[in-house]
């Protein structure tokens, strides 16, 4: 698998995020920081997520995508669009309940002329764990199946906080 990266672009408040390769937890701090900056943009109008070149995507990244959709709806009454032409990725999105918070399409009408690679920032183990916990709690909030899948992981990670 190709190492993961995240490409981003913005034009007049319209944001585009493209996941490429195998996108894993190592991107969580950078991706979450980008989402926070995006939602503080006074011109924010829409989000388009392109998964056409993703080879793998872990549950933390899925949780951050779910957070993106929930925050876009909560603050801007906008349902983001995910372009997912790969059947296996679309099946994963459906199994996580993404159809409730995203418009999922197999057709792309967005252009990627000015996309730039998101800079990967570092985070402490504690910060990364907190972001992993938050991302999984967001996934758990989407449906009961997700709650059952991830509650043990979240409980274990939360218990490790008290071990310090």
Reduced DSSP (H G I as helix, E B as strand, rest coil) percent helix, strand, coil of the chain, to 5:
50, 25, 25
Q: How far apart are CA 7 and CA 18, in angstroms?
A: 5
Q: Looking at per-residue confidence, does 120 or 47 come out higher?
A: 47
**Whole-model pTM?**
0.88
pLDDT score of 160: 83
Tokens of 23: 């996108």
Strands 81-83 and 103-105 turn out to be: parallel
What would the 3-class secondary structure string for 75-119 be?
HHCCCCEEECCCHHHHHHHHHCCHHHCCEEECCCCCCCCCCEECC
Tell the burial category of 37 from Cβ atoms under 10 Å away from its Cβ (0-12, 13-18, 19+): exposed
Question: What domains lie within the chain, and their CATH numbers?
Answer: 5-161 (3.30.750.24)
Condensed to tens digits (0 to 9), the pLDDT of residues 60-100 reads 999 999 999 999 999 999 999 999 999 999 999 999 999 99
């Amino acid at each position: 698998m190709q190492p993961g990266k995240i490409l981003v672009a913005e034009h007049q408040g319209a944001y585009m995020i493209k996941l490429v390769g195998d996108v894993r937890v190592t991107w969580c701090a950078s991706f979450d920081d980008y989402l926070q900056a995006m939602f503080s943009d006074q011109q924010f109008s829409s989000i388009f997520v392109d998964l056409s070149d993703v080879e793998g995507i872990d549950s933390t990244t899925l949780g951050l995508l779910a957070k993106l959709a929930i925050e876009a709806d909560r603050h801007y009454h906008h349902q983001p669009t995910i372009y997912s032409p790969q059947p296996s990725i679309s099946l994963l999105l459906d199994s996580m309940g993404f159809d409730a918070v995203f418009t999922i399409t197999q057709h792309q009408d967005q252009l990627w002329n000015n996309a730039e690679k998101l800079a990967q920032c570092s985070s402490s183990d504690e910060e990364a764990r907190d972001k992993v916990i938050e991302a999984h709690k967001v996934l758990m909030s989407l449906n009961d199946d997700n709650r059952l899948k991830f509650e043990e992981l979240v409980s274990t990670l939360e218990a490790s906080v008290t071990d310090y």
